[in-house]
Chain A
Amino acid sequence: MIRTKELAFDYIRRDEEGNVESVTRALDDININVKQGDFVAILGANGSGKSTLAKHLNAILMPTEGEVWVNGIKTTDEDNLLEIRKNAGMVFQNPDNQIILTVVEEDVGFGPENLGVPTKEIWERVEKVLKSVGMLEFRKDSPNKLSGGQKQRVAIAGIMAMKPKCIILDEPTAMLDPVGRKEVIATARELNKKEGVTVILITHYMEEVTGADVVFVMDSGKVVMTGTPRQIFSRVDQLKQFRLDVPQVTALAHDLRKKGVPLPEGILTPEEFEEAFTRACDARGGAI
C-alpha cells in the first residue's frame, strides 16, 4: 500500500538572492512498507520528521532522494497527482482550521464535489461517512457549535467522503479533551476495522497507539524502532532516549516489576494490568 525506498528529504533555506543559507535533512534513508488495512502509528520527538514523512505520502512534498509509492503509484508521477491525493487524505491538529463550510453536511460533501462526483452520489457518500463517524444527527448543524472532538470527526468524514484507501492523521487529538480524544481514536479504529482503510496515526499520546498493528519510532529523520505496541513499549529505557515514554499503566507495571512484583513487560491497558496484578497476588507461593 505504502512503500518508501531510501527516502531522504532536505528543507533548503535561501537568502533574498536565492543562495542556499542552510539545509535541514528532515528525512534520512527511510525504508518502510505498510500493508493495505494496517493501522500504523508513528511516534517521535518534536522535529524528528513525522509530519515531513506524512506529507510525502500524499505528494505535498517530493523526495530529495529515493522514492515513495502509494497504492502502486510513484508520488513523483505528475500525471497521477490527483489519484495520489485521492488515495491518501490528511487530517491535522487544529480542529478549527479544517472545516470550511457553515453546515456540516456541505463541508463533508466539499471534497467529492471537487473531485467531480455526481450530486446524487455525493449525498449518498455524505450520509454514509457521517454515519460511520457517528455524526449523522449533526448533519444540518453549524460546525462551530460542535466540540473539538466532534469537529475532528467531521474532518475525518470529509476525508472519508473522497473514498481514500489511506487516511493520515497528524496529531488529530493534540487539542482535544480526554473524551474527544477517545472519540477520535475510536472512530479511526472503526474505519480501519470495518472499511479496511489504512490508517497512519501520528501522536504524542502513548496510550493512543496501544491498538495499532505496527508502530514506527522516528529520531532525527530516521526510523529507529519498528514493532507491535507490546514490543515497542517493552523497551522503556530505549524509548526514553528518543524522548518518548510509555502509557502510564505500562510505566506502573514496569516499576512494580523492578521491585519484585511478577508482572509481564509491555502491559498496555488498565484492564490488562488489573488482571495481571490480581493474578500475581493470588498466585501460590510467597516471595520470589
Chain B
Amino acid sequence: MSIIFDHVTHKYSPGTTMEKTALNDVNLVINDGEFIGLIGHTGSGKSTLIQHMNGLLLPTSGTVYVDGEDISEKDYSKKMLRSKVGLVFQYPEHQLFEPTVVKDVQFGPRNLGLKPLEIEYRSFEALKNVGIGDDLFDASPFELSGGQKRRVAIAGVLAMKPKVLILDEPTAGLDPAGRDEILGLISDIHKKTGITVILVSHSMEDVANYVDRIIVMNAASVVLEGPPKAVFTYAKELEGIGLSVPQVTQITRDLANKGFEISPDCITLEEAGEELLRVYRQRKGIPG
C-alpha cells in the first residue's frame, strides 16, 4: 500500500488557547514495500504523523491518501483501513486490556471475523514469534514485566497480518537480545511478505542497521529524508535537533578528521570493522 501526505497540518484542540500544531504542512510519499525509519526528538510529531496513516487522527487541513483514496472522505471505511494498517502503540500498556495474554492477542483477528481455528493459530504463531512462551499465555497482561508487555502488544498486531506495519518505538524497554530479535523478526516479515514497514525509533544504531530510508522530523515538520548513509552525514545538524549518529559513525568520522584514510560514512558495526581492519593492515603493511 502506498501512503501520501499532501500538505498535511494537524492541530490538537484547534481554536482554543490550548491549540498545538503537531504537524505543519507535511508532504510525504511512502511507497509500497518500503522499510522506513522515522526519527525525531520527543514531541517532534512522530506519533501524530503515524496515527494519520491508519485514520486514528485526521488532518486539520491537507489530505492523506492511502492507495490513492482520501481517508477523510465520509464513506471511506476506517474499519477496513485499520485492518490493513497495523499500529503498535508507543505505550504497550495502553493496548492491552483483555484478561489474559492469549485473549489479548486474539482480539484483533476476532474483530476481523476470522474462523476460531484461524484465530487460535495466528495468535499462537504471533506469540511464538515475539518470544512469549506458553507459560505466560494465561497470565494477565498486567502482571508482565515492561518488556513482556511490549512483546504481547506486537504479537496482537502481527496476528492481524497487516499490509502496512507501523511500530512506534517498539524496542523501548526491551533487553538487547529482545531488541535484535524483534527487529530481526520485523525485517524477516518485511523481506518475506514485502509489506510496508514504518519504524519509529530513538536508536540510531537500529535505524542504521535495518531501514531503507530515514525520515527526520523536527518541530512538526519533516526536515530531512534519504538513505541512512546520506542522513547520517549530517551529524551536527542531527545533534542540534536532539538526535545523534551511531557510535561507529562518530568514530570513523573522528579518525578520518585526524588524517586516517578511512571512509567517514560507515554506519554499521560490520562496515566500520572492515574499514578499520583495512586501514590497520595498510598502515602495518599486512596484506589484506
Contacts and interface: CB of A to CB of B under 8 A. Distances in A.
B251 A51 contact: no
Given A46-B147, A252-B248, A179 B277 contact: no
Interface of B: 40-43, 90-91, 139-140, 143-148, 151, 169, 172-179, 202, 204-205, 239, 242-244, 246-248, 250-251, 254-255, 258, 260, 269, 272-273, 276-277, 279-280, 283-286
B20 to A, nearest CB: 9
A281 B174 CA distance: 37
Contacts of A111: none
B146 A248 contact: no
15 contacts: A46-B175, A148-B42, A177-B42, A177-B242, A179-B244, A240-B177, A248-B205, A248-B269, A249-B248, A255-B269, A255-B273, A274-B254, A274-B255, A277-B276, A286-B286
Contacts of A280: 280
A255 B43 CA distance: 37
B178 A243 contact: yes
A273 interface: yes
A147 to B, nearest CB: 5
Contacts of A177: 40-42, 202, 242-243
Interface string A230-270: 00000000001001110111011001100101000000001
Contact of B175 (A180, A244, A273, A281): A244
Contacts of A281: 260, 279-280, 283-284
B175 A243 contact: yes
A138 to B, nearest CB: 14
Contact of B42 (A176, A204, A251, A273): A176
A249 B178 CA distance: 20
Given A176-B42, A179-B243, A270-B247, A244 B176 contact: yes
A45 interface: yes
B146 A180 contact: no
B175 A13 contact: no
Interface of A: 11, 13, 44-48, 51, 93-95, 147-149, 171, 174-181, 204, 206-207, 240, 243-245, 247-249, 251-252, 255-256, 259, 261, 270, 273-274, 277-278, 280-281, 286-287
Given A180-B242, A245-B176, A248-B248, 8 more contacts: A11-B143, A47-B147, A243-B178, A248-B247, A256-B276, A270-B250, A286-B285, A287-B285
Contacts of B145: 46-47, 51
Contacts of A179: 41, 239, 242-244
A174 B40 contact: no
Contact of A47 (B148, B239, B272): B148
A46 B277 contact: no
Contacts of B279: 281
Nearest to A182: B244
Given A47-B148, A252-B248, A270-B247, A147 B286 contact: no
A256 B280 contact: yes
A251 B269 contact: yes
B148 A249 contact: no
Contacts of B204: 178
Contact of A178 (B176, B242, B255): B242
A251 B276 CA distance: 13
Q: What are the 5 A-B residue pairs with the smallest beta carbon separation, nearest first?
A: A46-B147, A148-B42, A243-B177, A245-B176, A178-B244
B42 A149 contact: yes
A75 B151 CA distance: 33
A13 B244 CA distance: 44
Nearest to A250: B247
Contacts of A206: 176
B230 to A, nearest CB: 19
Nearest to B246: A248
Contact of B284 (A94, A174, A287): A287
Given A51-B145, A147-B242, A252-B273, A273 B178 contact: no
A94 to B, nearest CB: 7
Nearest to B259: A278
A86 B146 CA distance: 26
Nearest to A207: B247
B39 to A, nearest CB: 8
Nearest to A26: B145
